[in-house]
Amino acid sequence: MGKVSGVFLLVGLCVGAVVAMLLVPPSRSGPSAVAVAAAPATEMTVEAEAKPASAPPKPSVPGTPPVDDVDTKALAGLVDGGQVSVAVYDRTTKKSTVSLKPERSYTSASLVKLLIALEALRVGTPPGTVQRMLSSSDDDIASRLWTAHRGPAIVTRWAAEIGLGDTHPPEDPGRWGDTRITAADITKIYRYVLERASAGTRTTIMRALSGATESGSDGVRQYFGIPDAVGSLPWSIKQGWACCRGSRILHSSGVVGKNDRYIVVVLTSQPTSTTYASGGKRVTDVVKALLPAIDDL
């Protein structure tokens, strides 16, 4: 029995040693390895938190149109074989936001009716007569008023009053549509009407321009340019068209936006082979290209 007890004792000691080895971790390497492995993730998190976030884009300044979006060099290409001048003036910021050859001279066609209207109202012509001349671009009324008020003197009087340095009477006194104008001077006429004219004159003229008929008294569709381009934005317009003394003239001018904010003037001289419809579409394309400068959109 003694030997057997000794054997059992020896076996018990061996089993206890094995159990002890199983219960005690062989080293701390496991947790240390976990800690080391976790360390890079922790550092990356800290680095990400410490790295300054990208600065948010600066908000646009209210009232400042994104004029960089208007490629003025490309505008000329929209009037194939012709000439185009453009002026956009923001009455809120009191700045010109788009300008392309604003001093280039053109024959006025019916845009001179703005000056005829100013003179007619000054001398007491019934507002209804002036409104009909403007809204349907009635040439007969314009001719009567031109003759009654000494024709070229209308242009010289109002050029001096408003400060139109490049607006001149026609060489043929009887041809009011040959008055010489520029986009810069037409912009000044609108500014005068909106900012300096009497309340009665302003109301009469702007009511006529906002109520412009789709076709003029001669049957030509006059919604090319501004009306066709600006969608639902408010507009008031005076258009001009004429042919064919060397070119086909198509002009679109007026104000766009709430409170007549933007003055928009597009003057074109196009080949006589151009139809009014195709030429008008080109003017519309020019105005569409100007829409990024009209931040009421």
Contacts of 242 by beta carbon, 8 Å cutoff, 6+ apart: 107, 109, 110, 177, 248, 249
This prediction has a pTM of 0.78
* Cβ-contact 117, 257 below 8 angstroms: no
Average pLDDT of span 217-243? 97
Q: According to the model, what pLDDT value does residue 5 have?
A: 44
Of the pLDDT bands very low, low, confident and very high (cuts 50, 70, 90), residue 52 is very low
Residue 258, in any domain of the structure: yes
Neighbour-count burial for 113-134, b at 16+ CB within 10 Å, e otherwise: bbbbbbbbbbeebebebbbbbb
| Residue found by looking up tokens 């009191």 in the block | 94
Residue 174, in any domain of the structure: yes
Average pLDDT of span 114-128? 98
Query: In the predicted model, is pLDDT for residue 96 greater than 70?
Result: yes
Of the pLDDT bands very low, low, confident and very high (cuts 50, 70, 90), residue 297 is low
Among 99, 134, 128, CA closest to 116: 134
List pLDDT tens digits, range 153-204. Answer: 999 999 999 999 999 999 999 999 999 999 999 999 999 999 999 999 999 9
Average pLDDT of span 139-162? 98
Query: In the predicted model, is pLDDT for residue 65 greater than 60?
Result: no
State the Cα–Cα distance between residues 280 and 224, nearest whole angstrom. Answer: 5
Check residue 138 and give left, alpha or beta (phi > 0: left; psi -120 to 50: alpha).
beta
3-state secondary structure (DSSP) of residue 297: coil
Q: What is the total count of domains within the chain?
A: 1
Query: What six digits make up the tokens of 41?
Result: 């993730």
Q: CATH number, domain at 236?
A: 3.40.710.10
Residue 1, in any domain of the structure: no
State the Cα–Cα distance between residues 276 and 282, nearest whole angstrom. Answer: 10
Contacts of 67 by beta carbon, 8 Å cutoff, 6+ apart: 97, 98, 292, 293
In terms of residue numbers, what domain contains 170? 67-293
* Cβ-contact 98, 288 below 8 angstroms: no
Residue 48, in any domain of the structure: no
Q: According to the model, what pLDDT value does residue 133 have?
A: 98
